[in-house]
Amino acid sequence: MSDEQAAGPALVDARGLRCPLPVIRLAARARDLPAGALVTVLATDPAARHDVPAWARMRGHETAGERRVVPDDGAEEHWALTVRLGPPPGRAS
Amino acid sequence: MTHTTEHAPTRAHPDRVHLDNGGRARWHPLARQAFLQAVDDGWADPRRLHTEGRRAAALLDGAREAVAGVLGARTEEVRFTHSHTTALHSAVLAAADGRRRAGGDVVVSTVERAAVLHAAHDAAATHGGRRVDVPVDRTGRVDPDAMADALASPGVALAALQHANGEVGTLQPVEDVHARALAAGVPLLVDAGASLGHVALPPSWDLLAADPADWGAPAGVGVLAARGRVRLVLRGPEDPEPWAPGGVSVPAAFAAAVGLQAVAADREAEDARRRALIDRVRATVATVPDVEVVGEPDARLPHVATFSFLYVDGEALLTELDRAGLAVGSGSACTASTLEPSHVLAAMGVLTHGNVRIALDRSTTEQDVDRFLAVLPGAVARVREMLGVGGL
């Protein structure tokens, strides 16, 4: 288990959703979390792997991990993308 | 006055503004005229020895000479192919094969056209090498030092670097990279498919591919030039014209050459005119909330602008703009038949969704750009509203 998982990041399951929905779901979840929190989004859409880090950069967050997940239960392969939240907009110094 | 305004045809669909002119533009009026002339005079098989055949052959020879003139090449260094894609495939495969004793590796930038990346992969696999991908920065520009290091490594057969990226407009440091390639003894393929006819082409290439459909000439013909010093081995069934088996369309090749001369003649005026319009587009689009205007701001093609809107479904935006009479391009996965987004945007590390790309043609007017800029912010807002992303 990675450090992120041990710390219990918030989880957004966006598997099966096409762009830009994984990023939108992630942003909606991030809105309710404090600075420093970790959020992991699960996505089957290949665009999410590029767009989650781009979103993080545009919003002052930090990319904290990228993992390809191959489930043994026959479920679809997907990305687990983790972001560490920065200060919320408006409260940033 | 430019050729465009002198010869501007009446638009068949005056209510439409077409801003997706990269790789396929409205035919230049002089290219169209040349094509029709060659249909009448050059319909015969140029390999036959009768008067009609010789007339067709003369048009083809003239076309080759004219293209060579614009490229600064010798006529025998220029070949017509069946498409720009074919030119890229053949250039990579033949140059890599010609240098297989030096090694099997092919060095490319990560933002080369898919045809180059795929051909480089195949060529490397055939000769026991690998494709070496050199990354780009956030603006899409390759680092010339990284490219030079890669191509000076042992076992490199060939390197490929585009003159400019057609998706984001960024110019590449081809002169610098070519000087280093020359020093390393590695031939450099320069893909000028998005740049020829729009910006000045430096003589820094060993192989060069270009795309007539991009400069307002017919699709169905491509240009491949190779300096005489480059050793080429092109495999394939025996044919008198191995670079275009069966021969190219004489009217298409003739129109490509006449079109190229026409765009070369007014290139500087069209550079200034379109660069000013694109500067306005980039500045105005940047005021839309949550947008990334991508690509190099200065060292770029004069007629291309690309931007990505956060939380926007690219397909929905294209549909919205099309309904308003505006045709644009996109590198978003949601607008393509594949799930994969543009490999160029991905390599740059910029947002791939909500992407819009415009390429201005010589027939694009200031009013066309005004109309686009008037419609775009509202269209983005409507698409965002549909997804309920307010406050994110």
CATH of the domain at A21: 3.30.110.40
Q: Is the pLDDT of residue A6 over 70?
A: no
- Residues B353-386 have pLDDT tens digits of 999 999 999 999 999 999 999 999 999 999 999 9
What is the band of A2 on the pLDDT scale with cuts at 50, 70, 90?
very low
B319: nearest Cα among B307, B328, B331, B310:
B328
**How many CB contacts within 8 angstroms connect chain A with chain B?**
71
Domain residue limits at A44: 13-84
Pair (B131, B272) in one structural domain: no
Name the amino acid, one letter, at B233.
V
Is residue A48 one of the residues assigned to a domain?
A: yes
Q: What is the pLDDT of residue B390?
A: 85
Residues 6+ apart with CB under 8 A from B140: B111, B165, B168, B170, B294, B295, B296, B344, B347, B348
On whether residue B3 sits in a domain, the answer given is no
- Contact at 8 Å (CB) between B169 and B301? yes
The rounded distance, in Å, linking the Cα atoms of A39 and A46 is 18
Q: Are B282 and B297 in contact (CB under 8 A)?
A: yes
Chain A hits for B332, Cβ within 8 Å: 19, 47
Euclidean distance between the first and final Cα of chain B, in Å?
Answer: 49
- Residue B340 resides in a domain: yes
Instruction: Select the residue from A19, A23, A57 to test the B interface by mutation, using most B Cβ atoms within 10 A.
Output: A19
User: Amino acid letter at B353?
Assistant: H
| Phi, psi angles (nearest 5°) of residue B136 | -120, 165
Residue A8 lies in a domain: no
Task: Give yes or no: A19 in active site.
Answer: yes
CATH number at residue B320: 3.90.1150.10
Q: Which of B215, B246, B264 is the last residue of a domain?
A: B264
How far is A71 from B94, CA to CA, in rounded Å?
43
Confidence of residue B340 (pLDDT cuts 50, 70, 90): confident
Task: Inform me whether the C-beta atom of residue B338 falls under 8 Å from chain A C-beta atoms.
Answer: no
Report the 10 Å Cβ neighbour count for B167: 27
Which is higher by pLDDT, A13 or B15?
A13
Give Cα separations from A46 to A12, B125, B135, B341 (angstroms).
16, 26, 19, 8
Q: Is residue A89 part of a domain?
A: no
Q: Please enumerate in sequence order all residues whose Cβ is within 8 A of that of B29, keeping only pairs 6 or more positions apart, or say none.
A: B3, B4, B7, B8, B9
Q: Do B334 and A54 touch (CB under 8 A)?
A: no
Predicted local distance difference test score (pLDDT) of residue A91 = 43
Between chains, do A24 and B332 touch, taking CB under 8 Å as contact? no
Q: What are phi and psi of B63, to 5 degrees?
A: -65, -45
Asked whether residue B77 falls in the same domain as residue B106, the answer is yes
Q: What is the pLDDT of residue B11?
A: 74
Does residue B349 sit at the A interface (CB-CB below 8 Å)?
A: yes
- Does B232 share its domain with B312? no
Q: Are residues B110 and B151 in the same domain?
A: yes
Instruction: For residue B201, tell me if it sits in a domain.
Output: yes
- Check if A28 contacts B (Cβ < 8 Å): yes
Q: Collect all residues with Cβ–Cβ distance below 8 Å to B193 and sequence separation of at least 6.
A: B23, B84, B88, B113, B162, B166, B209, B210, B211, B214
**Any idea which residue has 């369309």 for tokens?**
B249
Domain of residue B251 covers 29-264
Residue A28 in any domain: the answer is: yes
> Which of the listed residues B264, B279, B308 is the one where a domain comes to its end?
B264
Last residue of a domain, one of B238, B264, B290: B264
Rounded to whole angstroms, the Cα distance separating B36 from B250 reads 11
pLDDT of B63 > 60? The answer is yes
Strands A38-43 and A10-13: parallel
- A50 neighbourhood in chain B, CB within 8 Å: 341, 345-346, 349, 351-352
Min CA distance, A20 vs chain B (Å)?
6
Q: Whole-angstrom Cα distance, residue B140 to residue B171?
A: 9
**Are both B84 and B57 inside the same structural domain?**
yes
Kindly calculate the radius of gyration of chain B based on its CA atoms and give it in whole angstroms.
21
Closest-CA distance, B390 to chain A, in angstroms, reads: 10
The whole-angstrom distance between residue B354's C-alpha and the CA centroid of its chain comes to: 22
Tell me, what's the pLDDT at B162?
A: 98
Which residues of chain B neighbour A31 with C-beta distances below 8 Å? 391-392
Q: Give the distance from residue A81's alpha carbon to the nearest chain B alpha carbon, in angstroms.
A: 15
Give the active site residue among B334, B345, B350, B351.
Answer: B334
Percent of chain B with pLDDT over 70: 96
Nearest chain B CA: its distance from A48 CA (Å): 9
ipTM, two decimals = 0.89
The residue whose two tokens read 């249909």 is: B39
How many domains does one find in chain A? Answer: 1
Q: Is residue B218 domain-shared with residue B88, that is, in the same domain?
A: yes
Distance CA B43, CA B338 (A): 39
The answer to whether the CB atoms of A20 and B292 lie below 8 A apart is no
**Does A69 fall in a domain?**
yes
Report residue B178 CA to chain centroid gap: 19
Instruction: Kindly state whether residues B356 and B279 are assigned to the same domain.
Output: yes
Which among B69, B96, B70 has a CA at the least distance from the CA of B207?
B96
Q: Are B235 and B45 in contact (CB under 8 A)?
A: no
Q: Hey, are the CB atoms on A27 and B389 less than 8 Å from each other?
A: yes
CB proximity A79 to B under 8 Å: no
Mutation target to probe the A interface, by most A beta carbons within 10 A, among B350, B351, B387 is B351
Please tell me if residue A53 touches chain B, with a CB cutoff of 8 Å: yes
- Domain-embedded: residue A33: yes
Q: Do B308 and B355 meet the contact criterion of CB atoms below 8 Å apart? A: yes
Of B78, B71, B16, nearest to B327 (Cα)? Answer: B16
Position B334 scores a pLDDT of 64
Specify whether B243 is located in the same domain as B303.
no
Cβ atoms of A4 and A40 closer than 8 Å: yes
**Is pLDDT above 80 for B271?**
yes
pLDDT for residue B391 is more than 90: no
The answer on B113 and B22 residing in a single domain is no
**Helix (H) / strand (E) containing B204:** none
pLDDT tens digits, residue range A41-81? 999 999 999 999 999 999 999 999 999 999 999 899 999 99
3-state helix, strand, coil in chain A (%, to 5): 30, 25, 45
Residue B341 with chain A: CB contacts under 8 Å = 19, 46-47, 50-51
- Is the domain of B85 the same as that of B122? yes
Examine residue A58 and state whether it is found in any structural domain, yes or no. Answer: yes
Q: Which of B180, B122, B132, B178 is nearest to B155 (CA)?
A: B132
pLDDT at residue A7 in the model: 56
User: Helix B267-285 to helix B366-387 angle, to the nearest 10 degrees?
Assistant: 30
Tell me, rounded to whole angstroms, the distance of Cα B95 from its chain centroid. 20
By Cβ distance, the residue of B311, B332, B333 closest to A24 is B311
Q: Do A51 and B349 touch (CB under 8 A)?
A: no
**Is position A50 within any domain?**
yes
Contact B389 A18 (CB under 8 A): no
Q: What CATH number corresponds to the domain at position B80?
A: 3.40.640.10
Integer distance in angstroms from the first to the last C-alpha of chain A? 35
In a domain, B7, yes or no: no
d(CA B296, CA B108): 19
Please give the structure tokens belonging to residue B182: 């020359």
Is B312 found in the same domain as B288? yes
At which residue do the structure tokens 């740059």 appear? Answer: B348
Domain assignment of residue B1, yes or no:
no
Residues B249 and B228 in one domain: yes
Q: Which amino acid is at B196?
A: L
What are the tens digits of pLDDT across the range B152-194?
999 999 999 999 999 999 999 999 999 999 999 999 999 999 9
CA B312 from chain centre, in angstroms, equals 27
Residue from A10, A11, A19, A21 carrying the catalytic annotation: A19
Answer yes or no: is B143 within a domain.
yes
Chain B residues in contact with A18 by the CB 8 A cut-off are: 333-334, 339
CB atoms A47 and B350 under 8 Å:
no
What is each CA distance from B84 to A40, B24, B121, B157, B244, in whole angstroms?
43, 11, 18, 22, 11
Contacts of A26 in chain B (CB under 8 A): none
The span from the CA of B176 to the CA of B174, in Å, is 5
* Residue at B120 is within a domain: yes
Number of domains in chain B: 2
A23 CA: distance to closest CA in chain B (Å): 7
